[in-house]
Amino acid sequence: MAQGQTAPGIVAGRLSSEDLTANFGDLHPAYAPHEAAVAADRCYFCHDAPCVTACPTDIDIPLFIRQIQAGNPEGAAETILNQNILGGMCARVCPTETLCEEVCVREVAEGKPVEIGRLQRYATDTLMAQDIHPFTRAAPTGKRVAVVGAGPAGLACAHRLAMLGHDVVIHEAKPKPGGLNEFGIAAYKTTEDFAAREVDWLMKIGGITMESGRALGDGLTLEALKAEYDAVFLSIGLAGVNALTVDGDDRDGVRDAVDFIAELRQAEDLSSLPVGRNVVVIGGGMTAIDAAVQSKLLGAENVTVAYRRSRDEMGASRFEQDLAASKGVKVMFNLRPVAVHGKGAAAQVELEYTRSEGGRLTGTGETLRLPADQVFRAIGQSLQGAPDALALDGRKIAVDDRGRTSLPGVWAGGDCAAGGEDLTVTAVAEGRDAAMDIHDALSGD
């Protein structure tokens, strides 16, 4: 029997297996061919299309949609993957509502954009279902490149380098590759083990070796990598999680949202995953929303997201906010954490209302207490384990527009590198572009 939403504390098995399966099904189910045809027909094949400009990886969207229209989804997939080798994942997780679809001229005209993300998924799924890898390697160059971190940036960089004839070794600290594609991101956005399947598919290019278990500062050093390889690409992500710095942050029941999401993504059986009855998520980004929605889908009775600034300033898009609301999550604004109360374990979160004055946030003094047996920290991640020798830009690795760090022979991209939004698609673009620059640098030798 399921425990139910009102069982006290942090317990597993609140919902039946059937409910959990339904809750964690595909957020946007794949298009059937007819649906894809109808959706594709809406594209106007714009000149110098705004959607392409909005895409961090510059996918030729009108072309790939025209290819779908003309009955060539495989060709469409190749158009996509040429620019974005993780086009399958990006089709699922990109916040298209703030990228390509936001600027679609049909969004402007009718408030209904061409569903670019779902069409991209249709194309890439069609190709991958046939187990086709449409790229081949150039003649071997004899050059070897180390990629540190097997997230989107690292995978994109490695694939492009391998395609250009270089040999690549990816060093991944975790036992599985994929980075946030595998361990982050809400489960309902990437169902059926897609992240792992996509990596397997990507590796078919050949010339990429995956080594796991070592990280920079934990078995690997930048000096040794530089000595062993012709170039190094760092895509180590943001391994640190920002603390709440409030009283009670260390109480039982308080944990990092990213760990909860990773645990959920790796769970064999969702009914074995404990979740609180009253869950409060502190933060305002995609991680906060993903943790909140999934808590609700696991069967928490009350889930609240508390964000310290206003709705307009929230990192999570309006679409994500609405998604959370539709699942029964309450999103509250202008509330910052003051303390986590409880006798041992968390029982309440105390929050203070805020206002913004000239961009500075101040507390109003008015507070609010919410019941909370589980509290998730989702106020951002930080760079961890970056070699001291690298210059930083703010709290991230400084890079130029080609991905070059302050050290010769070392490039960086993805969330660990300064510049760009922390999105899968941005990471792919940075990895790809760094690969092209590495290739230029190595070819010039």
Residues that bind other proteins (CB under 8 A): 37-38, 41-42, 44-50, 105-106, 108-109
Question: Shortest approach of other proteins to residue 399 CB, angstroms?
Answer: 27
Of residues 62 and 337, the one with the C-beta less far from other proteins:
62
Of residues 50 and 371, the one with the C-beta less far from other proteins:
50
In the chain, the amino acid numbered 114 is V
Question: Shortest approach of other proteins to residue 350 CB, angstroms?
Answer: 48
Of residues 108 and 389, the one with the C-beta less far from other proteins:
108
Of residues 7 and 46, the one with the C-beta less far from other proteins:
46
Question: Shortest approach of other proteins to residue 118 CB, angstroms?
Answer: 17
Question: Shortest approach of other proteins to residue 71 CB, angstroms?
Answer: 10
Of residues 35 and 259, the one with the C-beta less far from other proteins:
35
Dihedral of CA atoms 403, 404, 410, 414 in degrees, nearest 10, equals -20
Of residues 116 and 275, the one with the C-beta less far from other proteins:
116
**Buried/exposed 70-85: b ≥16 CB within 10 Å, e otherwise:** eebbbbbbbbbbbbbb
Question: Shortest approach of other proteins to residue 45 CB, angstroms?
Answer: 7
Of residues 46 and 246, the one with the C-beta less far from other proteins:
46
The residues near 380 (Cβ < 8 Å, ≥ 6 apart) are: 241, 242, 283, 285
